[in-house]
Amino acid sequence: MIGRRIPRIDGPIKATGEAKYTTDIYLPDMLVAKMLRSPLPHAKILNIDISKAKKIPGVKAIITGRDAWDIRHGFIETPRYPADQYCLANDRVRYIGEEIACVAAVDEDTAYEAIDAIKVTYEELPAVFDIFEAIKPDAPDIHEFRLPDLIEPFKNVGGRCANSFGDMEAAFKKAYLIREDRFETQLRTHCYLEPQATVAYYDVNGKLNVWTSSMGVFRKRMHLSKILHMPLSKIRIHKSWVGGAFGGKIDLFSHEFCTSLLSIKTGKPVKYVAERDEIFSYFRHGQPMVIDLKTLVAKDGTILGQIVRCYNNCGAYRGSGVVCIFLCWGFIILPYRIPTLDYIGYSIYTNNPVRAPQKGHGAPQVRFAVESQLDIIAEELGIDPIEIRLKNARQKGDILPNGDTIKNAGLIECIEEIEKKTDFRKKYSKNLKEVKQYKNNTRFRRGIGIGVSSYFTGTLIYPHNSAAIIKFNDDGTVQCYTGALDIGQGAETILAQIIAEELSIDIKDIEIIAGDTDNTPVDIGSWISGLTYVTGNAVKKASEDARKQLLSSAAIYLNVHMDSLDMRDRIIFVKDNPERSITFSKVLENHIRDHKGDPIIGKGFFRGLKDAEHGPSLKNAKGAWSDSYAFDAQVAEVEVDMHTGKIKVIKATTAHDCGFPINPLLVEGQIDGQVSMAAGQALSEEIIMEKGITLNPSFLEYKLPIATEMVENDYIDIITEEYKKGHHFHTKEVGEGYVSGILAAIANAVYNATGVRAKRLPIRIINNLS
Amino acid sequence: MQLPHFKYHAPRSINTLNALIEKMKGQAIIMAGGTELIPRMKMRLIQPENLISILKIKELEHIKIKKDKKIEIGATVRIDNLVNFFKENRPFNAIFQAANMVGSQQIRNMATIGGNILQNTRCKYYNRTLQWQNIMPPCHKRGGNICYAVKNSKRCFAVYQGDMAAPLIVLNGKGEFLFDKNFIQKPLEDIFTGNGAMPFNVGKGVLIKFILPQPEDGLISTYKKYRIRDGMDFPIAGVAVAIKIKNKKIDDIKICLIGVSSAPVVIKDIKDFISEKKLTDKLIHEISEIVYNQAHPVENTDGDINKRRYMIKQMTFEAIKELIDGYDK
Ligand SMILES: Cc1cc2nc3c(=O)[nH]c(=O)nc-3n(C[C@H](O)[C@H](O)[C@H](O)COP(=O)(O)OP(=O)(O)OC[C@H]3O[C@@H](n4cnc5c(N)ncnc54)[C@H](O)[C@@H]3O)c2cc1C
Ligand code: SF4
């Protein structure tokens, strides 16, 4: 079962429309919630008058900041980075679209009528949208907050992460070439097809039942409990299927709080579904970044040191910006050996909507910069892109500056294999030569480019761990209880495969009961690229536990030592004499009879970074970060129409060291998705904003690639890990790492085709058309 | 996003349609495929009390080739039917090209040719939900007196992006409208005002059909569209070219642009410019330059305006070159 290309077990219910998403949940007497949002990017709220709105027939409750206690929330809540955002604006709004009031009414029209009837008096304040304007001494203060250790004369710094090591002076002395560039990445969004949606129902027993489109039910429950002043035990997050998230649904959102509070106030179920233009305009997108990158190299291309400054526009509240600037450090030190580093990342407040993680969370930004610059350097030194990467690639046994060990690294093999498979060197130098000889008369030009990336596999952040329970039906079929939430990546399929492998049963004999805070054990969630590793190991251990119990019980009934037994298809048999056997069903029946009713329940749990107390420091990047790191090399082949500037990614090849692929089909599915996302980021996607207003808030205008523009993919497996019975496995992530190398590869391929070096995304070659 | 409340009518004949319109004293809105109207209603850009669907009127849904070789296209003929009808039709290739690139397959299945021609002008500051609009004071097109796209402008520059208008205009198509029980024919290029806020001068007239003249010998046409993606997207620049070749020379040429102004732009002075000139690449470049100089897009839809203008030149060149190179084959 492990390593097999099993189709998704949730396929049929999704293909037939049977799967219930949050938007599909209808409860009797359910009310509709709509949100009043700030029309101003920065203002004091002087008064909110809801008296007229309250009187509209059909309006059941209206809440404003006054109903929301004085509690703030944040993606990160630490002494250094205290929570900075109210669920409903209190006395001030800091971006267009910030939530001010929420109405529950009998239908949508009535809710909107009430929204229109609420009168808010504002005192407008000066606003700032650009990061370099926002740090100036005369910029308006978006928050009172000051970082205690900030040494720069910058305003509006929401977070700072600094880390340096090595002898920079010596590196400068040794350097043969010093290259300095600025790279900029655009504001992009997740484009989950299922909109943000929540149904909340506060029942007569005082329990708050919540269905919400999320990435992890236990994290949502923790946030809601804090912000609602309710014990965890009084909140139940139910499972509903999730139609994509890509990082955009992990934070707490205002509507989750508001539907809950409105249900508490009215005693009725309350549903909120975000409009698509609300999502595009006011919800959390990814993190646009400016990266100043200075790289010092020796004559042979060995990197001697890097000086990096990342400026992240985190929007009006901290969001995940401070995590992103820590991660950017990580993506600088990961795939290549960097002996000397001077890194500072700033997360800067502006009067824009707040930002969230988005697939890669810093990696696409950093890899685009580093891989582009590496190609520039290679060309200046007269060495090829493959050689410079091989020279600097991390290898097994490397110790990262924070102390983490690279236990297994297939990067060198990834680069070597991809070179062979794509005939990279030959194509690259041929194209480069041709570009230099062109007299602007070849219309369609081909280019090839490479990018390298590495990604971590889970870290410690609440809820830190996963647990799982395996129980049996009388017929020996299995139910697994896990808090994991399948958000479309195939979590349930992977977990079922692990159980099937451990218990040697058919996948059809397994039912996964998942993602419910009351009915399933704790789970880390579908984020930080840790689910298969952390939850997968918990499920593996639970299965092992169940297997062991079954075998030891069967050994008694078959009168042999348990080591001589094996199992298949719900039958336990003697290895040397398979005729001597007993069914799971019979073992269970006997076991219950002979063990005071014990039905055999397997229990398993797992937490990564077993020696670490907590995750790494966001201030200085010190401390353990992850147990293992995935590596990849990716090659893009593009065709550029020099008459129209149209760039097409013809083919993408990914050589990946994802540890051990539990299901190669799903690994490829993840790669396909990430390659198409990278193509969108490279070529067409951008949220266009003007003074805090989004000008393309629809799928018509936000240029997500369409079906006919999907890229043809090829894959190379570099397998560095093993799946062994009796040991926890060290698979690596596949959910986020493959969006970055290919992004850089596309930019490098465009250069190879045209001689135009993109320093800003999306890539435009308008000024160089023939 | 829900629709506002409205009364729905679906007459089965032109007579009942007439009676309905009369009864409603011009207060009703005509709906065909609804692909353009429904989104505008959801955004509350238009809130008709009465909606008259014309899809049940059989007379409007046929394409006919008349005895005199004129082609009549009923107003509710679906775009997808046009794709099939004009496939491999050399003189009318522009219609096939344009129809084939309207929106997506789903849109083409629903969308009608009448609705395509009479679709409203668009702007990134206008085609927005009510909640979005509440953030900004109304511009000219919403009854205010400012313009966001062209700062300090006294008028609206919302852009006309109906793909089908360009080919129908270069092929000298006419529209037949029903005004107060009278059927009136107008050359298509005459129905536009050029004012983004009120793009048509046909008021409450109902478009009944289009009439294309019999194709003359040597007529060839094509359409080029610039959009960001391979599908879904409106034209952010479009060029239709019709050429009549006689004795290996261009005897007549008509060029119409779309997506760069509040109305289709019929290129002026082009026929005289080419008269009796030899057909060379240089000449085509010169024609493209003339066309380029008559395209003045503003920043109110996808893409960069310089690129849109540049693409007009590029596509004009390609269109003419393709037509001429293909002619002998
Ligand atoms: C995602 C998307 C993409 C699109 N892409 C394109 C594109 O690439 N190119 C393009 O040209 N268009 C595009 N459109 C716009 C639209 O779908 C088409 O223009 C379509 O042809 C409109 O036809 P319809 O029958 O749906 O019109 P409707 O929506 O029914 O009507 C459009 C307008 O015309 C009026 N009207 C319709 N028929 C008559 C009549 N017989 N008499 C009088 N008035 C009438 C209506 O009152 C309304 O104002 C797109 C739309 C969407 C939603
Ligand atoms: S062009 Fe100006 S006036 Fe017209 S819709 Fe756009 S912003 Fe409004």
The complex's ipTM? 0.95
Chain A residues within an 8 Å CB radius of B35: none
**Are B165 and B313 in a shared domain?**
yes
Q: Is residue A193 part of a domain?
A: no
CA distances from B75 to A179, B105, B176 (A): 63, 19, 9
Given the CA of residue B177, which atom of ligand 1 is nearest to it?
42
**Mean pLDDT on B50-59:** 97
Summary count for chain B: helices (H), strands (E): 11, 12
pLDDT at A169 over 80: yes
Which residues, 6 or more positions from A77, have their beta carbon under 8 angstroms from its beta carbon?
Answer: A83
pLDDT of A571-607, one tens digit each?
999 999 999 999 999 999 999 999 999 999 999 999 9
**Are B108 and B237 in a shared domain?**
yes
Residue A637, H or E segment: strand A629-641
- Check pocket membership of B41 for ligand 1, CB cut-off 6 A: no
pLDDT band at residue A770, thresholds of 50, 70 and 90?
A: low
**pLDDT score recorded for residue A214:** 97
**Are A452 and A471 in a shared domain?**
no
pLDDT at A352 over 60: yes
pLDDT at B275 over 90: no
Asked if A696's CB is within 8 angstroms of B311's CB, the reply is: no
Q: Is residue B198 part of a domain?
A: yes
Asked if A766's CB is within 8 angstroms of B307's CB, the reply is: yes
Distance CA A365, CA A353 (A): 19
**Are B98 and B34 in a shared domain?**
no
Backbone angles phi, psi at A21, to 5 degrees: -95, 170
Range of the domain at B314: 68-118+159-325
**Are A299 and A414 in a shared domain?**
yes
Distance CA B275, CA B253 (A): 10
CB-defined contacts A:B, below 8 A: 59
**Are A721 and A691 in a shared domain?**
yes
Q: Which ligand is nearest to the CA of B148?
A: 2
pLDDT of A389-419, one tens digit each?
999 999 999 999 999 999 999 999 999 999 9
How is residue A698 written in tokens? 């629809």
Q: Using an 8 Å Cβ cutoff, are B69 and B215 in contact?
A: yes
**pLDDT score recorded for residue A57:** 98
**Are A518 and A581 in a shared domain?**
yes
A701 touches chain B (CB under 8 A): yes
Q: Is residue A51 part of a domain?
A: yes
**Are B231 and B163 in a shared domain?**
yes
Window A:26-55, CB contacts with B under 8 Å: 37, 39
**Are A472 and A529 in a shared domain?**
yes
**Are B12 and B111 in a shared domain?**
no
**Are A642 and A717 in a shared domain?**
yes
**Are B164 and B41 in a shared domain?**
no
The single residue listed with the structure tokens 């994509």 is A244
Q: Is residue A167 part of a domain?
A: no
pLDDT at A174 over 60: yes
CATH code of the domain in which B36 resides: 3.30.43.10
Q: Say what the pTM is.
A: 0.96
B125 touches chain A (CB under 8 A): yes
**Are B198 and B252 in a shared domain?**
yes
**Are B176 and B231 in a shared domain?**
yes
Cα(B117) to centroid(ligand 1), Å: 7
Q: Which ligand is nearest to the CA of B28?
A: 1
**Are A73 and A94 in a shared domain?**
yes
**pLDDT score recorded for residue A437:** 81
- Give the least confident one: A146-150, A519-523, A539-543, B231-235: A146-150
- Give the least confident one: A322-326, B191-195, B249-253: B249-253
Q: Is residue A517 part of a domain?
A: yes
**Are A667 and A720 in a shared domain?**
yes
Q: Is residue B128 part of a domain?
A: no
For B56-85, b/e burial (b = at least 16 CB within 10 A) is ebeebbebeeeeeeebbbbbbbbbbbbbeb
Cα(B137) to centroid(ligand 1), Å: 27
**Nearest C-alpha of chain B: how many angstroms from A566?**
56
B184 touches chain A (CB under 8 A): no
Given the CA of residue B75, which atom of ligand 1 is nearest to it?
41
Q: Using an 8 Å Cβ cutoff, are A655 and A468 in contact?
A: no
pLDDT band at residue A677, thresholds of 50, 70 and 90?
A: very high
Beta strands B7-9 and B182-187, pairing class? unpaired
Q: Using an 8 Å Cβ cutoff, are B126 and B158 in contact?
A: yes
Distance CA B308, CA A205 (A): 62
| A643 → closest Cβ in B131, B233, B314 | B314
CATH code of the domain in which B198 resides: 3.30.390.50
Q: Is residue A170 part of a domain?
A: no
pLDDT of A268-313, one tens digit each?
999 999 999 999 999 999 999 999 999 999 999 999 999 999 999 9
Cα(B40) to centroid(ligand 2), Å: 15
Question: Pick from A577, A607, A637: which residue ends a domain?
Answer: A607
CA distances from B292 to A695, A742, B256, B257 (A): 27, 37, 12, 10
Question: Pick from B56, B76, B94: which residue ends a domain?
Answer: B56
Peptide bond into A463 cis (omega under 30): yes
CATH code of the domain in which A531 resides: 3.30.365.10
A151 touches chain B (CB under 8 A): no
Q: Using an 8 Å Cβ cutoff, are B224 and B162 in contact?
A: no
pLDDT at A36 over 60: yes
- Check pocket membership of B234 for ligand 1, CB cut-off 6 A: yes
Cα(B110) to centroid(ligand 1), Å: 9
pLDDT band at residue B329, thresholds of 50, 70 and 90?
A: low
Q: Is residue A10 part of a domain?
A: no
**Are A119 and A42 in a shared domain?**
yes
A598 touches chain B (CB under 8 A): no
**Are A626 and A741 in a shared domain?**
yes
Which residues, 6 or more positions from B22, have their beta carbon under 8 angstroms from its beta carbon?
Answer: none
**pLDDT score recorded for residue A442:** 85
CATH code of the domain in which A42 resides: 3.90.1170.50
Range of the domain at A221: 21-125+202-241+249-267
- Check pocket membership of B149 for ligand 2, CB cut-off 6 A: yes
Q: Is residue A572 part of a domain?
A: yes
Mutate to test the pocket of ligand 2, among B139, B151, B302 (most ligand atoms within 8 A of CB): B139
**Are A594 and A485 in a shared domain?**
yes
Q: Which chain B residue is nearest to residue A644, measuring alpha carbons? A: B311
pLDDT of B115-146, one tens digit each?
999 999 999 999 999 888 888 999 999 999 99
- Give the least confident one: A432-441, A510-519, B100-109, B121-130: A432-441
**Are B247 and B169 in a shared domain?**
yes
3-class DSSP string for A461-503? CCCCEEEEEEEECCCCCEEEEECCCCCCCCHHHHHHHHHHHHH
- Check pocket membership of B75 for ligand 1, CB cut-off 6 A: yes
**Are A510 and A448 in a shared domain?**
no
Cα(B55) to centroid(ligand 1), Å: 13
A570 touches chain B (CB under 8 A): no
Q: Is residue B309 part of a domain?
A: yes
A278 touches chain B (CB under 8 A): yes
Cα(A39) to centroid(ligand 2), Å: 19
B128 touches chain A (CB under 8 A): yes
Q: Is residue B149 part of a domain?
A: no
**Are B206 and B259 in a shared domain?**
yes
Q: What is the dihedral of CA A97, A101, A106, A109, to 10 degrees?
A: -40
pLDDT band at residue A267, thresholds of 50, 70 and 90?
A: very high
**Mean pLDDT on B209-230:** 96
For chain A, what is the mean pLDDT?
Answer: 96
pLDDT at A440 over 60: no
How many CB atoms are closer than 10 A to CB B215?
19
Domain count, chain B: 2
Domain count, chain A: 3
**Are B75 and B195 in a shared domain?**
yes
Cα(B165) to centroid(ligand 2), Å: 21
CA distances from A449 to A635, A636, B147 (A): 6, 5, 44
Asked if B310's CB is within 8 angstroms of A703's CB, the reply is: no
pLDDT band at residue B326, thresholds of 50, 70 and 90?
A: confident
Q: 3-class SS at B319? A: helix
pLDDT at A438 over 80: no
**Mean pLDDT on A475-490:** 96
- Percent of chain B beyond pLDDT 90? 88
Chain A residues within an 8 Å CB radius of B234: 700
Q: Which chain A residue is nearest to residue B129, measuring alpha carbons? A: A277
**pLDDT score recorded for residue A730:** 84
**Are B72 and B49 in a shared domain?**
no
